[in-house]
Amino acid sequence: MGSLFKPKMPALPPVQPLPEPPEAELSQEEKDRIAAEQRAMERRRKGRKSTILTSPLGVEEEAETEKKTLLGS
């Protein structure tokens, strides 16, 4: 009974191949500009690196779990 009330699915259109990507030939000026931008990004990233106190893995030091009390124990 299920196939009686469900319409048939239409056939899928054929898959078209992807177009070829354009050749990316850069002039020397464009290569120099891109290299300068990358150097500037590295400088900015390096400048911020000193403010990061943890590694990508998190804090590597042991946590201080014991606190001294006022009674001296």
Q: Say yes or no to pLDDT of 23 above 60.
A: yes
The structure tokens listed for 48 are 């911020």
Question: What is the rounded average pLDDT of the residues 56-65?
Answer: 72
The pLDDT score that the predictor gives to residue 14 is 93
Give tens-digit pLDDT for 34-60.
999 999 988 887 766 666 666 677 776
In 3D, which of 55, 43, 60 has the Cα closest to residue 35? 43
**Is residue 26 a contact partner of residue 34, using CB atoms and an 8 Å limit?**
yes
pLDDT at 37: 94
